[in-house]
Homo-oligomer: A and B are copies of this chain.
Amino acid sequence: MPLSPPAPCRLAIAVALLAAVPGVAAAAPEAKPAKPLTMQDVIAASRPSDWRALDPERTLYMDLPSGRVVIELAERFTPLHAANIRTLAREHYFDGLAVLRVQDNFVTQWGDPNAGEDKARPLGKASKTLAPEFTRPSKDVPFTKLADGDVYAAEVGFSEGFPVGRDPKTGETWVAHCYGVVGAGRDNAADSGSGAELYAVIGHAPRQLERNIAAVGRVVRGMELLAALPRGPAPMGFYDDPAKRTPITSVRVAADVPQAERTPLEIMRTETATFASLVESRRNRRDDWYHVPAGHIDLCNVPIPVREPPAR
């Protein structure tokens, strides 16, 4: 008795527009509504131009014993953090560190177990602190608005594959803290983060973190490797027993990884008509399982499709 998750999309708009042309509606044969498309239909009908390859310089591979987590860096939003994380990765800073904390319905966080202590691993040429980068000016930031509204932000939508919030009053845009978004842990001071300690959201979007922390990227593959880890028993999900921590084999910039070892992935472009169709297919699901289409969709419930490049 499975919960069926397919997601069709209605594309009867063209038909409705035709019927609205004066003098045509009466004469036209009975218009048969187009069968709603599922998300799978939308993806199957997409063109190569609807997709972009991950930029290897803006992509991190975090290899765990269980497999690879692929993270796209939000370069436009957090350029200082992206650069610092690349520096750390190229120094092999993260290799041999560990997942320190898994707090149920919140975050999985990784870094140096000895951070802040004498035994802490040095950051080398990387900065110990960075300007906050919690938001950035909206000017020149591509933005595809989601019309469904939002509890937290005046406007929400997508920018180059990232879910974003926007405030027209302050002129700021930021990456929204949806499931899978990666942020840079910090202490109380706004500039105390460096990207040396990172976390991924593994539960209902903790949107209250927005404008308070740098959202530096998004997991585009391998979230299940971070989300299915045992929750830490200590406060905030820390592991009191170091042996329970998941070790990090390595974190590398994809550009530094031999071609044969890379994970080639493409992301659907969020500024396309195809993506707009996909959003509608999820906003109003009309397959046989759904009896009442929702009529709305939450920013963090919109999937941003990722695929392996098709054979050409």
Give A115 to B291 CA distance when docked, in angstroms. Answer: 23
Copies in the complex: 2
Per-residue interface assignment for chain A, residues 279 to 293, with 1 indicating a CB less than 8 Å from any chain B CB and 0 otherwise: 000100100111111
A2 touches B236 (CB 8 A): yes
Which chain B residues lie closer than 8 Å to A197 at the CB level? Answer: 1
**Other-chain contact of A207, B106, B134, B208, B294 (Cβ < 8 Å):** B294
Residues of chain B within 8 A (CB-CB) of A289 are: 188, 212
**With a CB–CB cut-off of 8 A, which chain B residues contact A5?**
103, 106, 236
Chain A interface bracket (under 10, 10 to 19, 20 to 34, 35 or more): 35 or more
In Å, the complex CA distance between A285 and B183 comes to: 19
- Mark interface residues in A189-230 (1 if CB within 8 Å of B CB, else 0): 010110011010001111111111100000000011001111
User: Closest approach, in angstroms, between the C-beta of A275 and any C-beta of chain B?
Assistant: 18
Taking CB atoms, residues of chain B closer than 8 Å to A205 are 204, 298, 301
Within 8 A of B (CB), among A110-153: 111, 115-116, 134, 148-152
Interface residues of A in 287-311 (CB under 8 A from B): 288-298, 300-301
Question: A1-B193, A5-B106 given. 20 additional CB < 8 A pairs?
Answer: A1-B186, A1-B197, A2-B185, A3-B183, A3-B185, A3-B209, A104-B223, A104-B224, A105-B179, A134-B292, A149-B149, A152-B294, A178-B204, A203-B204, A204-B205, A204-B298, A208-B293, A208-B297, A210-B294, A212-B291
